[in-house]
Structure 1
Amino acid sequence: MAERNTWIVQHGQPHAVQHECNDCVRVFLMPDGAFRKCQAIVGDGLSIGQPCCGVFRCTNPLENNRHRFCAKHNDRHDICIVNFCERPVVKTETQDANGKVKIIKKKACALPEHQKIEAKNQERSTGSFLYRQRLQHARISQPIDSFSNKQRVPEQDVQEDFEIYTVDSNNVELQVEKNPSSVGVVNDTEEEWCPSKSATGNCSGKTLVHPCGVIFARATMFGAEAVSNFLVMVKNAFSVPGAQKPEHIFYDTNCDARQQAEKDPWFNGIGMCVNAWHFWNKHAITHQYCQLNCNPAQYPELMDDFGGWFFNTSVAEQTNAWLGGYHSMCREMLPDKYDFFLDEMIRLRNIEVIKRLHRKGRCPQTY
């Protein structure tokens, strides 16, 4: 599996790298009488990932999916689980009937409030906590039709809710916050929830999709879906053999990504717009840079002959609705199996998408 995963990284998805069709490539006539090609790609994030190291932005794999830290940071298992607490955990020795000594380690230090947090955390395996978690997992299921845009739960519910423990007057309370899903941020920053139970490592997914629905690439983001990581992903994805840089990249936070991309010559000549729906509903008209540089209406090649949009710029979100259905299957997989499974599902889906494009007369081919 590891060899196959490496091959995908180095060569890309076999049916997507050199794919083109009438839905994702447009040839248009310029005012000077010359014909130009316009190929677009759409990016979006998804709150789906495998267990990873609890140290922020650590990409080392876990030796076991029940571990909280990788081998490099294994000593962190002996440190209190509460954020920003560096005290050692409580250890007790017990002796069985045969005289064998066994050391039992707790996850919290000796501070009373931290012991209460651990006790409250253990309640998750009993009572309503367990039932609520099982209900959430049951709702996260694969759509019956792999091309369906419908979900049984909102996309943000693909990832478990955040559980935050707060101490107030020696009482520990558990607060549950809805996961805000995966959104692009300017910089990778650690969350400052204190005092609270230290979260297991967080990672999310990112996809690049042709407007026709063929998935071009997938990547895992550790820590946060920063726009700088998105730009690195785009460069790596379009640097595999046979790939051609797109003329346009659609991304919901391109107003931040474009400002960083202007410093990189690789992105010269590439249009970077916010997709039409996000630009109209999510971006403030007072954001001057966004309005002047990321409005898709600035590019006539993105418009069809009837004044509508030629490309489906919401295709990545529609695709992630399908991909998120596998969350309950792969949420406990270690990296090799996780990457292999998702890459194989994407490969099989791309085959079906291309068959559908043939039936619709969209002329899919490889260049």
Structure 2
Amino acid sequence: MYTDETQQNFIISVFPTRASMPDVIFFDNNCNLRRHLEKRAEDVREHFEHTTLVVDAFHWAGKHQQGSDEYCSKFCNPASYPDLYDETKPDKWLFNSSVCEQTNAWVRKFAAQTREMTAVRFEFFLDEVIKAHNEHITVELHRGQHFPHQIPASALE
């Protein structure tokens, strides 16, 4: 984010319609985001109405111990949402909620190549490298009969 964009505005810019909003958003600061949204105008609250805001499992285990924040424990604990894990194996999540942390670690591998780049070149490089990486991951997912969700363009209008 380049300016004073809040997390709320960033999410709305990525998912501009209610139909485009995901069912779940994992974010390490979702407790504060959820508190913030409760104080916003009705149209903003309605935009997030059908989206569950939870802290990713990695951050929950390390920074949000059960009981340390009653509000967060009640609304943002990933273990409180059975749809997110295999009920027969409660420690088996149905998807990787720490993918952002892993992606950041992957991007850091390019630090030496990008250190001297201007902002414009860096953004171009990052855009292209992430696009190529995503295409590779999508091919691998399809080979394994897994199909990543794609938002139809009509939902973004």
Q: TM-score, normalised by structure 1?
A: 0.36
Deviation at 1:299, TM superposition (A): 1.7
- Structure 2 residue aligned with 1:214: none
Q: Sort the Cα spacing of 1:258 and 1:331 in 2 relative to 1 into closer, same or farther, 3 A.
A: farther
1:358 aligned to 2:135?
no
Deviation at 1:275, TM superposition (A): 1.0
1:270 partner amino acid: T
Following superposition of structure 1 onto structure 2, how do residues 60-71 of structure 1 map, counting pairs within 5 Å?
A: none
Following superposition of structure 1 onto structure 2, how do residues 57-96 of structure 1 map, counting pairs within 5 Å?
A: none
- Structure 1 residue aligned with 2:84: 302
- Structure 1 residue aligned with 2:30: 254
- Structure 2 residue aligned with 1:346: 130
Structure 2: any 5+ residue segments left out of the alignment? 153-157
Following superposition of structure 1 onto structure 2, how do residues 1-367 of structure 1 map, counting pairs within 5 Å?
A: 220-221=1-2, 229-239=6-16, 244-262=20-38, 263=40, 264-265=44-45, 266-284=47-65, 285-306=67-88, 307=90, 308-364=92-148, 366=150, 367=152
Return the structure number with greater strand share.
Answer: 1
Return the structure number with greater helix share.
Answer: 2
Deviation at 1:333, TM superposition (A): 2.4
Deviation at 1:317, TM superposition (A): 0.6
The percent identity for this pair of structures is: 36
> Larger RCO: Structure 1 or Structure 2 (Cα < 8 Å, ≥ 6 residues apart)?
1
Cα-to-partner distance string for 1:107-158 (whole Å, 9 max, x where unaligned): xxxxxxxxxxxxxxxxxxxxxxxxxxxxxxxxxxxxxxxxxxxxxxxxxxxx
Deviation at 1:291, TM superposition (A): 0.9
Q: TM-score, normalised by structure 2?
A: 0.78
Dislocated runs of 4+, deviation >6 Å: none
Separation (CA, whole Å) in 1 of partners of 2:115 and 2:2: 15
Secondary structure, counterpart of 2:93 in structure 1: coil
1:273 partner amino acid: V
Separation (CA, whole Å) in 2 of partners of 1:234 and 1:246: 10
Structure 1: any 5+ residue segments left out of the alignment? 1-219
Separation (CA, whole Å) in 2 of partners of 1:258 and 1:363: 30
Secondary structure, counterpart of 2:35 in structure 1: helix
Deviation at 1:320, TM superposition (A): 1.0
Secondary structure, counterpart of 1:272 in structure 2: strand
Secondary structure, counterpart of 1:268 in structure 2: coil
Q: Sort the Cα spacing of 1:330 and 1:313 in 2 relative to 1 into closer, same or farther, 3 A.
A: same
Q: Sort the Cα spacing of 1:260 and 1:320 in 2 relative to 1 into closer, same or farther, 3 A.
A: same
Deviation at 1:364, TM superposition (A): 4.3
Cα-to-partner distance string for 1:276-333 (whole Å, 9 max, x where unaligned): 1211221142211111111112222112242332121111111111112222222332
1:302 partner amino acid: L
Q: Sort the Cα spacing of 1:352 and 1:232 in 2 relative to 1 into closer, same or farther, 3 A.
A: same
Separation (CA, whole Å) in 1 of partners of 2:72 and 2:2: 25
Separation (CA, whole Å) in 2 of partners of 1:296 and 1:342: 30
Number of equivalences: 142
